[in-house]
Amino acid sequence: MNETPRKNLSKELLESYRVKPGQPVQLGTVDPTATGPFERKKRARAELELLRDELVELQECFYAWDKRSLLIVLQAMDTGGKDGAIEHVMKGTNPQGVEVTSFKVPTAEELSHDYLWRVHKATPARRMIGIFNRSHYEDVLVVRVHSLVPEEVWSQRYEQIREFEELLAANGTVILKFYLHISKDEQARRLQARLDDPNKRWKFAKGDLKERALWDDYMAAYADALNRTSTEDAPWYVVPANHKWYRNLVIMSILVDTLKSLNPTYPDPEEGLDDVVIE
């Protein structure tokens, strides 16, 4: 039988998606249609399945290990694929060890606290993988684009966010941040698809068109957020996301590599189990 050779995404390629401190990324120069070494989804299928098996095993061990927590931050423009990424990347993992938090327009109670209050409460406990569907980054994105607070306020938040994430990291949380990078054309296609498909219409909000009109402002806000808050302990990755399967592949590869590098192990069993007889 002819085995398809593994063409896994090289460390260098994945590394090229990381925003390095001191080397600002310009989003206009990152190709959202990139698919790495794969021409088509069909060619990546075997790789996706292998990664899924690895991820499922690693998550089980990470949970049992009970030494660290993992926080995944997902940010994207509307239709950028946050929901799809969560669904497809985490498929098959044990839901008991995964917690998704979706951050919406803050409630009155949330607004009466500092902006990190609701975020800190939602950070994953040890052994858990926490996924933020939107996050504290909204407080330097939508908040900045719509001037919901004055510039003196939002401009201080980059440093505050860096320090907050440093605190989490110093206390055992591993942090990965993904910006799902789609083109403006791709957003148009996805919005149209939502209008055309009766099962997707519920996802269409007229307000999305207002945000779309502010695309350039959002790109500027994203570039600043990524460049000012990508650190060694809490790196941002710009994930080419026009092709959903490639987006999933990149995220899964980074996730698998990160979990592997932690080297989780199953806890030692109690002593003397060899003599135990179940009657």
Q: Is residue 139 within the footprint of ligand ADP (CB under 6 A)?
A: yes
Task: Please work out the total of residues on this chain that contact ligand ADP, with binding judged by CB under 6 A.
Answer: 12
Q: Using alpha carbons, select from 181, 72, 205, 208 the residue that is nearest to residue 128.
A: 72
Residue in 134, 162, 212, 244 binding ligand ADP, rule: CB under 6 A? 134
Task: Report the nearest approach of ligand ADP to the CB of residue 243 (Å).
Answer: 20
Q: Is residue 84 within the footprint of ligand ADP (CB under 6 A)?
A: no
Q: Is residue 142 within the footprint of ligand ADP (CB under 6 A)?
A: yes
| Site for ligand ADP, residues 10 to 69, rule: CB under 6 A | none
- d(CA 48, CA 46) in angstroms, rounded, equals 5
Whether the Cβ atoms of residue 62 and residue 127 lie closer than 8 Å to each other? yes
Q: Is residue 104 within the footprint of ligand ADP (CB under 6 A)?
A: yes
Q: What is the DSSP string of 152-204?
A: HHHTTHHHHHHHHHHHHHHTTEEEEEEEEE--HHHHHHHHHHHHH-TTTGGG-
Residue in 98, 140, 143, 256 binding ligand ADP, rule: CB under 6 A? 143
Element (H, E) at 3: none
Rank residues 139 and 186 by Cβ distance to ligand ADP and give the closer one: 139
Q: Which stretch binds ligand ADP (CB under 6 A): 24-32, 132-140, 213-221, 243-251?
A: 132-140
Query: What residue has token string 């088509």?
Result: 40
Whether the Cβ atoms of residue 233 and residue 166 lie closer than 8 Å to each other? yes
Q: Which residues bind ligand ADP (CB under 6 A)?
A: 78, 103-106, 133-134, 138-139, 142-143, 205
